Amino acid sequence: MRLLERMRKEWFMIGIVLAIAGAKLKPSVGVNGGPLKPEITVSYIAVATIFFNSGLSLKTEELTSALVHIRLHLFIQIFTLAFFPATIWLFLQLLSITPINEWLLKGLQTVGCMPPPVSSAVILTKAVGGNEAAAIFNSAFGSFLGIVITPVLLLLFLGSSSSVPFTSIFSQLFMTVVVPLIIGQIVRRYIKDWLERTKPPFGAVSSCVLLMIIYTTFCDTFSNPNIDLDKFSLVLVLFIIFSIQLSFMFLTFISSTRNNSGFTPADTVAIIFCSTHKSLTLGIPMLKIVFAGHEHLSLISVPLLIYHPVQILLGSVLVPTIKSWMVSRQKGVKLTRPTV
């Protein structure tokens, strides 16, 4: 029973493994021009579905209460969409002389360019007892910013590496990301009471569509005999991702707990999770558009696929430590900073 319960809870991660395994067994099904017609069903319908779903689920009407914390929002958004990608770029200049697969390194850069997720950072902030309103605001606002800023960052740091012209890339982004998101928000205004009453499984719907995108992405990879991924590079990238996560969580903690920072312990909790988490749900569709037709798209996607479970795992492990620190601070007990 415990195993079944665990599998039910981690169904999405199991789904990713099965999607990649399925692509390995029968790549011809999901390649461009194949039975699934991913050039239409994925590039347009699936991506638009995810962002329409995001528009329906984003509770923007609840964000006004958090608007006053401008300094907090600036810290999170600048760290997420400026400091994070710039630091990763500098770090990759050092890693470029190593034997690590160059496309996995490019994938690490794409991780840095991603916006914050809508769910995981909020859930972990709430679990600790942090500033949930700030976490909701920055996750939602970061997602909106990411629609414009993430593609620009990807093109700035990596170029498109695609045969698709820049104008076509932004045109497709507008039609499959911005328009569905706006329509979703408009529809939400009219059915908000019904949504609050029935609580549709928005997360599950987006995750199922995302599994289809992951499947077709890896179908393209496994159908290309020229692509080879060595295990050494994969293990090193996994270690690097763990290191990046821990380092940035510790850095945000140190920065937000300085005597003159002006942030409360509850603010610090929101900063730690919102500044370091990255969105898989928004990231994979954007990579699919910006790197359309690229033979190494799946390799570029691998670090983001790894980063997603790592951020949830590390966050969950650190929840008790951060929670005990916050409680002690709120009681006025002066303790040393926790080891992260």
Report yes or no on whether pTM surpasses 0.85. no
Which is more confident, 194 or 329?
Answer: 194
For residue 130, what pLDDT is reported?
A: 84
Confirm whether 211 is domain-assigned. yes
Task: Decide: 308 and 233 in contact? Cβ < 8 Å.
Answer: no
Range of the domain at 128: 9-333
Mean pLDDT of the chain: 82
Residue 3 lies in a domain: no
pLDDT at 333: 45
- Say which range, 75-79, 158-162, 187-191, 318-322, has the weakest mean pLDDT: 158-162
**For position 338, what pLDDT does the model report?**
52
pLDDT at 218: 78
- Between residues 137 and 54, the one the model is more confident about: 137
29-79 pLDDT, tens digit each: 888 788 888 878 877 888 888 878 878 877 766 566 666 778 899 999 999
Q: Is residue 135 part of a domain?
A: yes
- The per-residue pLDDT for 117 is 80
Whether residue 258 is predicted with pLDDT greater than 60 in this model: the reply is: yes
Q: What's the pLDDT score for residue 90?
A: 95
pLDDT digits (tens, 9 = 90+) for 314-336: 888 888 888 888 878 766 644 44
Q: Is residue 21 situated within a structural domain?
A: yes
Average pLDDT over residues 287-293: 78
165: confidence class by pLDDT, cuts 50, 70, 90: low
**Higher-confidence position of 184 and 119:** 184
Band the pLDDT of 187: cuts 50, 70, 90: very high
Share of the chain above pLDDT 70, in %: 88
Is 2 inside a domain boundary? no
Which has more pLDDT, 337 or 67?
Answer: 67
In this prediction, residue 228 carries a pLDDT of 65
182 pLDDT higher than 60: yes
What is the model's pLDDT at position 169? 63
Which CATH number does the domain housing residue 152 bear? 1.20.1530.20
| Domain assignment present for 4 | no
Confidence of residue 161 (pLDDT cuts 50, 70, 90): low
| Residue 129 domain-assigned (yes or no) | yes
For residues 268 and 262, the answer to whether their CB atoms sit within 8 Å is no
More confident residue, 163 or 97: 97
CB count within 10 Å of CB 333 equals 9
Confidence of residue 157 (pLDDT cuts 50, 70, 90): confident
The pLDDT value recorded for residue 75 is 94
Does the residue 340 lie in any domain?
no
Mean pLDDT of 197-222: 81
Q: Is the pLDDT at 221 greater than 80, yes or no?
A: no
**Looking at the 3D structure of the chain, how many domains does it have?**
1
